Amino acid sequence: MRSPFAAMPAGACAAMLVLVAAAMPADARTPPVEQQAAALFGLEYAAVAPGAAILPGRSSCTEAGESMLLVEGAEQSGWTAGAADCGGRRVALLKRRMGEQDGRVQWRIEDVLLLPPMAPERARPRRLARPEECALADGADTSFLAVLRERRPGDDRPPVVEQLWTYDLARGRLLRQPASQLACTGHAPD
């Protein structure tokens, strides 16, 4: 069977495709969140305000904040633990400061980690650990990223550590660690 587009001039066919794409719902044109998060890897960009698009027009990922990185109690200048929201999912970023341009800090995203859905409405929700409630078992005052799962209602034990990562600045990577390497003392402070 012959395509109905075969008899159309090339320009008309391209215009038809643009019209079809424009008529599609926006979410059908947006790449999957995994692709959007992966597109951030290696990106160099000027700092943007929280909530602003990191790649305007090319991704739904927005800046979600950052915090300093500590290694054995010392702040690591030139590095930050960043976060982005991509299509409703949290993405952890390891960012290296590349300098300044026109008064704005320039960052390079060295590593990207798409975190599991947090699902706060579940009976045992997941959440990110806060530094004041957990510490690495070796006692080093070193930054980490951890996903915790709350215990069942009525169980007063600390939350379960589901996943743990530390920051390897020499290699510019987030490294998965055994969950047993993180000790949590209790529930997150209010």
pLDDT of residue 3: 37
Series of mean pLDDT values for 10-residue runs along the chain (190 residues): 42 36 48 91 93 86 94 93 94 96 94 88 81 86 92 87 96 96 73
pLDDT of residue 122: 67
Helix, strand, coil in percent for the chain, rounding step 5: 15, 40, 45
Provide the 3-class DSSP secondary structure of residue 37. Answer: helix
pLDDT of residue 168: 95
Alpha-carbon distances, residue 40 vs 46, 147, 167 (angstroms): 13, 21, 18
Contact indicator for 64, 85 with CB cutoff of 8 Å: yes
pLDDT of residue 26: 47
What are the structure tokens assigned to 53, written together?
């698009």
Alpha-carbon distances, residue 20 vs 14, 17, 27, 30 (angstroms): 10, 5, 14, 15
Residue where the block lists tokens 């790449």 = 31
pLDDT of residue 62: 95
pLDDT of residue 13: 35
What are the structure tokens assigned to 93, written together?
């970023």
